[in-house]
Amino acid sequence: MFGLGTTELIVIGVIVFLIFGAKRIPEIGKGLGGAVREFRQIKKDVTHEEEAEKEGEKEKKEIKNNSASLENTLTEKVLHQAPGVKKVMDAKKKVDKVKTILKS
């Protein structure tokens, strides 16, 4: 598993436990599980679209337009299911706005 041994995984687990606490870990697991589930569903949708791509060039153009929307859908699902991610993304948007204001 990514070249990590048992000791490294235990250390990572202890650090996660210390940072988030026992009450937040199930919430994080639930959010990540939902995100993985949505990712698999979208992956299935993309594979079906790739099969449709082989059928005709016209459908290929429509799939390209939909792939961006699939990416946005996945992003939205992850934002809603993983706790804390939405707050981080909102903070990032605010920082980007401040940077654009300072550049002006």
Greatest pairwise CA separation for the chain in angstroms:
54
pLDDT at 60: 54
How many whole angstroms separate alpha carbon 27 and alpha carbon 68?
Answer: 29
Report the 10 Å Cβ neighbour count for 62: 13
pLDDT digits 0-9 by tens, 48-79: 777 766 666 555 555 556 666 767 777 777 76
pLDDT at 53: 64
pTM summary value: 0.41
pLDDT at 3: 79
* Residues near 66 by beta carbon (within 8 Å), at least 6 away in sequence: 49
Give the pair of three-digit tokens for residue 24. 């937040």
- Split at pLDDT 50, 70, 90, the class of 1 is very low
Q: Are 85 and 33 in contact (CB under 8 A)?
A: no
How many whole angstroms separate alpha carbon 91 and alpha carbon 93?
Answer: 5
pLDDT digits 0-9 by tens, 4-56: 888 988 898 889 888 888 888 888 888 888 888 888 888 888 777 777 666 66
